[in-house]
Structures are given as C-alpha cells and as structure tokens.
Amino acid sequence: MTELDVVKNIVILMAMHDEALPIVKALGLQENQHVMPNALPFRCFQSTTNQSASRLSITLIISGQDSRYQVDNIGCEAATLMAYQAINLFSPDLLISAGTAGGFASLGADIGTIYISDDYFVFHDRVVPLPGFEEAGIGRFPAANLKQMASKLEFKTGVISTGSSLEKNLKDQLVLKRHQVVAKEMEAAAIAWVAMLHQVPVAAVKSITNLVDQDNQSEHEFVKNFDQAVGSLEIALLKVLRYFE
C-alpha cells in the first residue's frame, strides 16, 4: 500500500478510559452525547471548529464501561462494533487503534516503547486447524502504510497481533513468531477487519506495558507499568496527529 496522501478526518478508537483521558484533555476534545445509539456504551469525543487553525477533524471513541462489572469494554467484540459505528458515522480518512500492548525484549522493546503497525494485522489465538480456516482465522488484514511517518517520528514498526487473553499461551507464541509480531494486544485486528470490509485505511499506535518474553506475569506488569506506557502513548499520538496537520 502507498503512503496516505491526504488525511483530514481521523477517528481514534480506544478500549480503556484511563488510556484515552490524557489524549482527550491534551486535545481539548468535547464529548458528543447525541451521536451514538442509546443501546451502545461507547463515548464519543470530538474537536470543535473554533478550537484551532488545524485542518484536521479528530474524533476519539472509547468503548465505554460494562454496566454489570464496572470495567472497560476491552476486547474484540466491542472493538468490532465500535469500528463499524465509527466508519458509518464519521467516514474517516484514517482509523487509528490506539492503546497499550505487550512487547518483546528480544526485538528491542522496553516499557513505553511505541510501535506503529506495518504491513498487516493478525489474530494469534484463533487456532482453527482446518483447510482454509486456519489462515482465515489468523487474518492478515492490511495496515495503512505509515513507514515514512514512523521513520520521521522515529517510531518502531511491525506487525500487531490481537488476542482475547492477557495471559501468555505457548500455542499463541507460535503464531507470534511466525509473523514476527512486535506487539500483542486485544482490539486492533478486529478493527482492521471492519476497516478492510469498508476499504478504510487503518493503523495502530501501541505503547508497551509488559514484555511477553520475560519471566514475569503479564497482568502484574500491565498494572505496574500502565501509567508510564500511557504517558508514552499520549506523546506519540500527539506527534502522529501533528504529522497530518
């Protein structure tokens, strides 16, 4: 895919409120409480016309909270529906899946390292060993070509992989290694599938909270390093948006 030519309308999709809040504040986005159907928990924040001289229109959508368990709606189900709503409501020139992820020390990652998606997205835990279904499960959904941007902003790039579990799984590791995945998370490939269906360019901006190939428990590392990773994510996203202004 060629580098994107003109980007005027960007929609950012984020799963967790605490990941998104610093971005909302930094950009001065205002919540639009009228655009989403009442049945959906998603929250929508948008730039205003009198905010600045920027030619960019920015919408940030958070997946919202599960009313039963009082936690963020993380994972593929909410991400898929959120992407569908975002594309149909706002017709973005670029869809961005932003958030935190697990990385790999063996590939040069550290806590707070930023990765921009490259080439394609995969699912690492949809293991269906049947002819045709195995590769379909993995997906290989195309990622927007942002190599030039990533190089200019000095961000690492690579394949981003999605799964439905924070815990490490030995079977998942085989897919991660086969596709040389640099970051594993829980939403991007689901968003990329919807974007592919609608022929909308999609990218991911991910900040590393935990190192998957180290002797640790991912859930503990995620909590311990969350604030640092979110701080790096905020800085990275602001740089990405400035690049397109």
What digits encode the pLDDT tens for the residues 116-156?
999 999 999 998 999 999 999 999 999 999 999 999 999 99
The whole-angstrom separation of Cα 73 and Cα 36 is 16
Q: Would you say residue 4 lies in a domain? A: no
pTM, two decimal places: 0.95
Best CA proximity match to 241, nearest among 22, 23, 3, 21: 23
Tell me the percentage of the chain whose pLDDT exceeds 70: 97
pLDDT surpassing 70 at residue 7? yes
Q: Would you say residue 168 lies in a domain? A: yes
Q: Would you say residue 3 lies in a domain? A: no
CB 142 within 8 A of CB 199: no
Which residue range forms the structural domain that includes residue 14? 9-244
How is residue 33 written in tokens?
Answer: 């409480």
Residue with tokens 């730039």: 47
CB 104 within 8 A of CB 211: yes
What's the Cα-to-Cα distance from 206 to each of 48, 98, 234, rounded to whole Å?
26, 6, 10
What's the number of domains the chain is made of?
A: 1
Q: Would you say residue 236 lies in a domain? A: yes
Q: Would you say residue 122 lies in a domain? A: yes
What digits encode the pLDDT tens for the residues 86-124?
999 999 999 999 999 999 999 999 999 999 999 999 999
Q: Would you say residue 2 lies in a domain? A: no
Residue 173's pLDDT is 87
Q: Would you say residue 89 lies in a domain? A: yes
Q: What is the mean pLDDT of residues 70-99?
A: 98
CB atoms within 10 A of CB 32: 15
Q: Would you say residue 1 lies in a domain? A: no
Assign residue 93 the CATH number of its domain.
3.40.50.1580
